[in-house]
Amino acid sequence: MPKRNSHERLSKRLQKYLTRLNELKFEVDKRQCLSGRDVVPPKKKVLPECIVRFCELDFEGRQLVEAALIARLKAYAPYSKFKVGAAFRSKAGDIFTGCNIENVAFTPSCCAERTALVKAVSEEHTTFTGGAVVAYHPDAFITPCGVCRQFILEFAKKDIPIYVASAPEHDDALPMIEDEHKVLITSIYNLMPRSFSSFE
């Protein structure tokens, strides 16, 4: 299938350019900072963001998205009816999943991302190499809320990829995600630029 191969080559080249662009941006930021034009020294390397088809993800990325899709089926969302699933891979290689859990008083609700991380951290897994978030939306990527971004950041020693994909509209759909389905690969530093990280 020559068409698909050339598409894959192009997307690989694009990812390479984006990585280089980020490196250059990092260098520019550093120089601006040294010349006193920026108050906050950028210390972090940020992963490039891109949108790919599900079948173009590596095995680990596909596994995270699939785990999040399965976790979403357990969502307890009687108020918003908006079901979310999340999955995070710990440094040891274990996948922890979670769904959103709502409450009649609304405020005590827990997002899928935090459910997954709370499960993991309570079992002594405190460093993660990647995560996935899924919810159904016909034409937008649903990214983690602000609280979850801060929560994820707490357990990321460096930038980690966050895969964002749409879940199927109906829970009984099979397969749960098609090969051609678009996946946003963002990262926690992209989602949380210039974050608060320390008061020391």
Residue numbers annotated as active site: 113
- How many Å apart are CA 68 and CA 13, to the nearest integer? 29
- Asked if 77 interacts with ligand DUR (CB under 6 A), we say yes
55 annotated ligand binder: no
For residues 112 and 84, the answer to whether their CB atoms sit within 8 Å is: yes
Closest to 69 measured CA to CA, from 177, 146, 145, 179: 177
CA distance 95 to 120: 8
Contact flag: residue 134 with ligand DUR (CB under 6 A): no
* Binding characters for Zn ion, 118-157, by CB under 5 A (x = yes): ---------------------------x--x---------
Taking alpha carbons only, the member of 88, 128, 85, 80 closest to residue 106 is: 80
CB of 59 to ligand DUR, least distance (A): 24
User: Quick one: which of 68, 71, 111, 133 contacts Zn ion (CB under 5 A)?
Assistant: 111
Q: Which of 144, 160, 162, 167 touches ligand DUR (CB under 6 A)?
A: 144
State the minimum distance, in angstroms, from the CB of residue 110 to ligand DUR.
Answer: 8
99 is in an annotated binding site: no
User: What type of residue is 186?
Assistant: T
Task: Determine contact, residues 135/82, Cβ cutoff 8 Å.
Answer: yes
